[in-house]
Structure 1
Amino acid sequence: MNILLPTSIVGSLPKPAWLAPPEKLWSPWILEGDKLMEGKQDALRIALQEQLLAGADIICDGEQTRQHFVTTFIEHLSGVDFENRKIVKIRNRYDASVPVVVNEIARQKAVFVDDAKFLRKQTDKPIKWALPGPMTMVDTLYDAHYKSREKLAWEFAKVLNEEAKELQAAGVDIIQFDEPAFNVFFDEVNDWGMAALERAIDGLHCETAVHVCYGYGIQANNHWKKTLGSEWRQYEEIFPKIQKSNIDIVSLECHNSNVPVSLIELVRGKKVMVGAIDVASAKIETPEEVADTLRRTLEFVNIENLYPSTNCGMAPLSRNIARGKLSALSAGAKIIRNEFAI
């Protein structure tokens, strides 16, 4: 990156109300057929424009073309039954109706590559694309075939790697893997989860990121956070493994969380996407609040490796609030740039 403190969001932005009912996850599409395709592309254009107007330095698709950050990718794989669903507890937190793995997993065609090509044509800025991580995919469905979380994660890693290589060829600069499950299943992360993620990035030469957070600002996640005590030290369990990995960027939750900022020291040498925007609150941060969060992290990450970001995606928020938070992020980063006279 040529610019210091490049800003970006983690993944999702709210969708326009004419595309999907607002402020909810797994929101059903309102349009159908060709109108849906056209509507998704229009929404993608709007997401791009709103990021540009807010001053974002790294652009993403805002996940406008997908219903959910995990299941939309799984929908395009063979070997998964979406009709006969099962209820499972996701991240040991909340029940959800999920698809079932009934046969060998295979990726028959590209999932997001056409969308990435479309976005690439719209802007010269660096673009980032989010994919679900293998462990989080495993945790978002029911496995009736492999009967092994590790084996299934390995199969997902293979198809993710196929997709990632095509996204890279489409001009994506950063591929981000969303792994909220890393914050829950520490033993599995260290036994095989990190290895599966390394398999997913095998052979890539674009930058890669892993996003590990405490989840969207939905009720189940907010209740869970209240049980975590005065210090959230989950990152302590997994950051040493990430630090030794080939992942370039670590994305973490920071602002309005009880994560000790000093834990960032455990990934020293990596680029760090510091979450300076709270997505679990409708309150729009001031630029000074954003700057304060970033300032506190600079003891533990070199300024050239600090990438200001959001804690998580903003899909469940209203568009006005998301827009305001995005602008505050850029303004806060500018304060720090000015302090360092850069």
Structure 2
Amino acid sequence: MSSVPAATILGFPRMGSNRQLKKAVEAFWASKISESELLDRTKQLRKEHWELQASLGLKQVPVGDFSFYDHMLDHAVLFGIVPERYNVTKPGLECYFAMARGLQAPDRGIDVPSLEMVKWFDTNYHYMVPQIAENQTFALDSTKIIDELREALALGLDARPVVVGPVTFLKLSKTASGAGSTLSYLPQILPLYVELIKQLVAEGAKWVQLDEPVLALDIDAETQEAYRTAYAELAKISGAQYLVATYFAGLEDNLELAASLPIQALHLDLVRNPEQLEGALKAVPESVVLSLGVINGRNIWKADLSKGLELINTAAKARPADKLIINSSCSLLHTPHSLDAETELDAELKNWLAFSTEKIAEIVVLSRALHEGVDAVKAELDANAAAIQSRRTSDRVSNPAVKSRVVSLKESDFSRNNEFSVRQAAQHDKYKLPLFPTTTIGSFPQTSDIRRNRARFRKSEITAEQYQEYLETATRECIEWQDNIGIDVLVHGEFERNDMVEFFGENLSGFAFTRNGWVQSYGSRCVKPPVIYGDVSRTRPITVETAKFAQTCSPKPVKGMLTGPVTILQWSFVRDDQPRSETCKQIALAIRDEVVDLETAGTTIIQVDEPAIREGLPLRKSGWDDYLEWSVDSFRLATAGVVDSTQIHTHMCYSEFNTIFPAIQRMDADVITIENAKSDLKLLHAFEHHGYKAEIGPGLYDIHSPRVPSVQEMKERVRKMLNYLSPQLLWINPDCGLKTRGWEEVRSSLTNLVEVARELRKEY
């Protein structure tokens, strides 16, 4: 066995310390740089990242974790899984980005939508779903990962290629028809994995990392057998050493299966499930190296190194040090690059945090403690212990009044006054909306002019009065435009908001904000999650004055727009010193106060977005009931304080409703809009199967793509929806908010959307 790396990580953030990847890719899309310049910039970025990891003390660096857009999309290209519709594009990056974003080029007769996009397990990262044709011909194109391996080796680094394992890759893919098991393609794709790994070994890879997070989920007999078959075949390759990485959950009932695989190293996520170590030490053969994921790759809190050392010492009593790897729990893709840029955080709070580069330093300290003894890193361990104690005892973390309010909640605080049918009658009588009412999800394009004025205000280059005047002008123009084209329920555009979670966090206690704490959400889209460090409460109204102004701009109803408590929780870096359910109820009470104040001020259609409620599900079904109880209760707590005629909307993304449909019904929203355009209407089967009595707006077009849908295209989608839904319940809307789109495409798309509703009203 080649030397075992003492310290490593499963992957590193792609974007760069200053979002260099985002800027390069978007410049390429805008034709401001050439393909060769894009390739040069990203090659330099990879070099910087690898050299940084090595300088921090990692003994082996991952390669192949870089992507122009998404690693699952990279693997689709790697294995030749390119749907036929993309054959009209140029091979290479044009085809790749067409699969990612869709492509409209009327002068060339090209109009292709993107692949489906869904959440990566229970994270806020999105991946593109490979679509396997019925008679798929697989073909290996290993250029990207081989080139990146060569780049790292040329720098004199010990480089470990990262590949999504064959079973996880197929399980996360879909068939073009939506029917049948993707695992049936294992015999065709497995030879390509064999050839790929042979090439990597020939190029000098001492280890190959195969990511198999599906191995830590609830899996059936077919999947278990697929693991045995795949790894028996991969084990035949001479010179190949495999680190199989499981993460986001514990192996639990799959431990015996994992322990039986003919591999050289097994990675355990000991942050999500530290209890699995004891069983693994007994079940996994002593010849197999254990990779201990003791540093959290999902959160930004400084690790308690003493607890990490306890786990490492437990392992070291059963295994020699050279049979242990100190590692991150998962890829650091989900954490920001470095704390170096955080010059505006106060010293106390900053001392509680660790971003990706700081997490690598923690891994190295723990590795040195294992191999050199704790005295060699005593100063580092003492500093860590002081930081942990500082956070534990700080007065800013706890608010007794907030805790008391949660404890005092009554059962009636979680329910509306009457059932939906009574509320619906009151709402129809009040709003008198037409059949197939039209609306949007909330945000409108955040133009460079909007971002520039926001930045000028924050830098005090314009006064608060000037900035408010600018926002009111933008809001009025947005509302008047919606009114003029015939949208029925309007929105104010959210021009005052930097991000749907960050904006609310900035107006709640217990939140802190970073200057450069960006993480990738999808493609070039980055978000900067707030940090919830203490008890949460609302100290003043947040959106009420904006909503009051917006309503003066039109006689039509203008929705109040709020982010729901579960989404604020899920899309933040959450404190880990109390149950997430407790923090979520605190946020729910803050949003409830805002909902009630909006209603009092005259805004009586209120949307409380919960796009993240599905992604918060525990990956093991054994934890679902508890999560769904407190998450749905939190939404109900936030929305139950209003009268019957006040209409509560919510919006949800990427939700496979069949699995959680009773919980969706229990949310008791009056109108639910769902992201649906990428799903081939599969979500609507849940509504047919279970029945749904409230009103619903399945998205008619994909806002993640710049392409403009035609009237006919959207109308056909509605016709299919009407096979499942009553016309009296159906709303007409896009998939999601329009923040990331340009005004030209938004105007065309929404004009077409309104025309769809007009034509349908003539038919029903």
Deviation at 1:270? Answer: 0.8
* Cα separation, 1, equivalents of 2:450 and 2:577: 36
Closer, same or farther: CA 95–19 of 1 in aligned 2, 3 Å: closer
Verify the 8 A CA contact 1:81 1:100 in the aligned structure 2: yes
Match of 2:679?
257
More displaced stretch, 315-324 vs 133-142:
133-142
Match of 1:243?
665
Aligned 1:50-199 pairs, distance under 5 A? 50-83=481-514, 96-144=527-575, 147-186=578-617, 187=624, 190-199=628-637
Q: Which has the higher strand share?
A: 1
Deviation at 1:106? Answer: 1.5
More displaced stretch, 136-145 vs 289-298:
136-145
Verify the 8 A CA contact 1:271 1:307 in the aligned structure 2: yes
Closer, same or farther: CA 174–240 of 1 in aligned 2, 3 Å: same
Deviation at 1:145? Answer: 6.8
* Cα separation, 2, equivalents of 1:317 and 1:212: 19
Closer, same or farther: CA 250–287 of 1 in aligned 2, 3 Å: same
Deviation at 1:335? Answer: 1.5
**Which ranges of structure 1 fall in alignment gaps of 5 or more residues?**
22-26, 215-232
Which of 726, 743, 748 aligns to 1:319? It is 743
Closer, same or farther: CA 110–145 of 1 in aligned 2, 3 Å: farther
Deviation at 1:279? Answer: 0.3
Verify the 8 A CA contact 1:242 1:267 in the aligned structure 2: no
Deviation at 1:87? Answer: 6.8
Which of 209, 214, 220 aligns to 2:649? It is 209
* Cα separation, 1, equivalents of 2:725 and 2:696: 7
User: Per the alignment, in what secondary structure is the counterpart of residue 185 of structure 1?
Assistant: coil
Match of 2:730?
306
* Cα separation, 1, equivalents of 2:531 and 2:472: 30
User: Per the alignment, in what secondary structure is the counterpart of residue 641 of structure 2?
Assistant: coil
User: Per the alignment, in what secondary structure is the counterpart of residue 304 of structure 1?
Assistant: helix
* Cα separation, 1, equivalents of 2:745 and 2:455: 22
* Cα separation, 2, equivalents of 1:49 and 1:17: 21
User: Per the alignment, in what secondary structure is the counterpart of residue 277 of structure 1?
Assistant: coil
Verify the 8 A CA contact 2:531 2:573 in the aligned structure 1: yes
* Cα separation, 2, equivalents of 1:208 and 1:267: 20
Match of 1:282?
706
Closer, same or farther: CA 96–5 of 1 in aligned 2, 3 Å: closer
Closer, same or farther: CA 301–146 of 1 in aligned 2, 3 Å: farther
Deviation at 1:30? Answer: 4.2
Match of 1:270?
694
Match of 1:227?
none
Aligned length, in residue pairs? 316
Task: Map Cα deviations across residues 143-165 of structure 1 (whole Å, 9 max, x no partner).
Answer: 33753211111000000000001
TM-score by length of 2: 0.39
* Cα separation, 2, equivalents of 1:253 and 1:269: 19
Deviation at 1:298? Answer: 1.4
TM-score by length of 1: 0.85
User: Per the alignment, in what secondary structure is the counterpart of residue 679 of structure 2?
Assistant: coil
Deviation at 1:103? Answer: 2.5
Verify the 8 A CA contact 2:657 2:664 in the aligned structure 1: no
Verify the 8 A CA contact 1:84 1:99 in the aligned structure 2: no
Q: Which amino acid aligns with 1:127?
A: V
**Which ranges of structure 2 fall in alignment gaps of 5 or more residues?**
1-430, 618-623
- What RMSD in Å do the two structures reach over aligned CA positions? 2.5
Deviation at 1:240? Answer: 2.1
More displaced stretch, 44-53 vs 81-90:
81-90
Deviation at 1:299? Answer: 2.3
Tell me, yes or no, if structure 1 residue 43 matches structure 2 residue 474: yes
Match of 1:295?
719
More displaced stretch, 82-91 vs 96-105:
82-91
Q: Which has the higher helix share?
A: 2
Deviation at 1:274? Answer: 1.9
Higher RCO structure, 1 or 2 (CA under 8 Å, sep 6+): 1
* Cα separation, 2, equivalents of 1:85 and 1:145: 22
Closer, same or farther: CA 199–18 of 1 in aligned 2, 3 Å: same
Verify the 8 A CA contact 1:12 1:314 in the aligned structure 2: yes
* Cα separation, 1, equivalents of 2:581 and 2:736: 26
Verify the 8 A CA contact 1:289 1:332 in the aligned structure 2: no
* Cα separation, 1, equivalents of 2:519 and 2:466: 33
User: Per the alignment, in what secondary structure is the counterpart of residue 163 of structure 1?
Assistant: helix
* Cα separation, 2, equivalents of 1:44 and 1:326: 17
Verify the 8 A CA contact 1:182 1:189 in the aligned structure 2: no
Closer, same or farther: CA 97–285 of 1 in aligned 2, 3 Å: closer
Closer, same or farther: CA 96–280 of 1 in aligned 2, 3 Å: closer
Closer, same or farther: CA 98–295 of 1 in aligned 2, 3 Å: same
Verify the 8 A CA contact 2:562 2:609 in the aligned structure 1: yes
User: Per the alignment, in what secondary structure is the counterpart of residue 677 of structure 2?
Assistant: coil
* Cα separation, 2, equivalents of 1:153 and 1:83: 21
Q: Which amino acid aligns with 2:565?
A: P
Tell me, yes or no, if structure 1 residue 11 matches structure 2 residue 435: no
* Cα separation, 1, equivalents of 2:444 and 2:516: 27
Closer, same or farther: CA 155–242 of 1 in aligned 2, 3 Å: same
Q: Which amino acid aligns with 2:713?
A: E
User: Per the alignment, in what secondary structure is the counterpart of residue 176 of structure 1?
Assistant: strand
Closer, same or farther: CA 9–189 of 1 in aligned 2, 3 Å: farther
Verify the 8 A CA contact 2:570 2:612 in the aligned structure 1: yes
Task: Map Cα deviations across residues 310-330 of structure 1 (whole Å, 9 max, x no partner).
Answer: 100011111111111111110
Q: Which amino acid aligns with 1:277?
A: Y
Task: Map Cα deviations across residues 158-192 of structure 1 (whole Å, 9 max, x no partner).
Answer: 00000001111222232112112123123365231
Deviation at 1:34? Answer: 2.1
Verify the 8 A CA contact 1:168 1:204 in the aligned structure 2: yes
* Cα separation, 1, equivalents of 2:446 and 2:436: 27
Q: Which amino acid aligns with 1:250?
A: I
Q: Which amino acid aligns with 2:696?
A: V
